[in-house]
Amino acid sequence: MPDVEGSERSLPNIVITGTPGTGKSTHAQLLVDASPVPLRHLNVSEIAKEKKLYENYDEEWQTYIVDEDKVLDELEPLTDAGGLVIDWHTCDVFPERWVDLVVVLRCDHTLLWDRLEKRGYSLKKIQENNESEIMQTVLDDAKESYAEEIVVELRSDSTEDLESNVDRIVSWIQNWRRDRGFSDQP
């Protein structure tokens, strides 16, 4: 049964985004593991490295400069079937038609600082990401790029937050499927 947008997908596509260190990959993998329906975790940073979907490597920031057009070309064929959990530090590059839910993870900036230090980030990179979190840059980008009703902001400070968030997203998936006439079974 097609959804309101006319899509034939029986599974939603979910973007999990946030400043580096907010727990995107952990949330995405736990969601895939907890979901009653099959989901596929796509870590865009890893895909970009593996498939060389970048322009170059920025030594100063110690990161690859991703070619967003190449990333979109790589992911587009996968989006039609649904069931994707797309994990990346930005979301506004993904076309609205691909995305059913955008989860923006937020973290206390002092916790974020500690997490990024443990990763071995440079002071400049820690400061830049911490400022981005304080200024809620990723959340604002999500709100400007997608319909208000599909953007949700979730705290990611503790293990309890993580578990609660995954449970909440699983419930959202079940409701999304039920609203479109699908059962919890794939």
What structural domains does the chain harbor?
A: 14-179 (3.40.50.300)
Q: Which residue has the tokens 């975790």?
A: 41
Sign, Cα dihedral of 153, 155, 160, 163? positive
pTM for this entry: 0.91
Residue 181 annotated as binding? no
Q: pLDDT-derived band of residue 2, with 50, 70 and 90 as boundaries?
A: very low
* Residue 25 assigned as binding residue: yes
Token reading at 90: 């930005």
* Residue 24 is labelled as binding a ligand: yes
Mean pLDDT, residues 125-129 taken together:
95
Residues 74/2, Cβ–Cβ less than 8 Å: no
Q: Phi/psi zone of residue 86: left (φ > 0), alpha (ψ -120 to 50 degrees), beta?
A: beta
* pLDDT tier for residue 186 given thresholds of 50, 70 and 90: low
Range 59-84 burial, b when 16+ CB lie within 10 A, else e: eeeeebebbbebbeebbeeebeebbb
Residue 185 has pLDDT above 80, yes or no: no
DSSP-H helix ranges across the chain? 24-34, 44-50, 68-79, 109-118, 123-134, 137-145, 159-179
pLDDT the model gives residue 62: 76
CB-count exposure of residue 138 (10 Å: 0-12, 13-18, 19+): buried
Q: Does 26 appear as a known binding residue?
A: yes
93's tokens:
């590059």
Per-residue model confidence (pLDDT) at position 63: 81
In this prediction, residues 165-178 reach a mean pLDDT of 97
Q: Return the pLDDT at 8.
A: 75
**Residue 79 marked in a binding site:** no
- 8 A C-beta contact, residue 141 and residue 3: no
Per-residue pLDDT, averaged over 137-150, amounts to 97
Beta strand pairing status for 101-106 and 84-87?
Answer: unpaired
* Mean pLDDT within 87-116: 97
C-beta separation of 174 from 184 below 8 A = yes
Is 143 marked within a binding site?
A: no
Q: Distance from first CA to last CA of the chain, Å, rounded?
A: 13
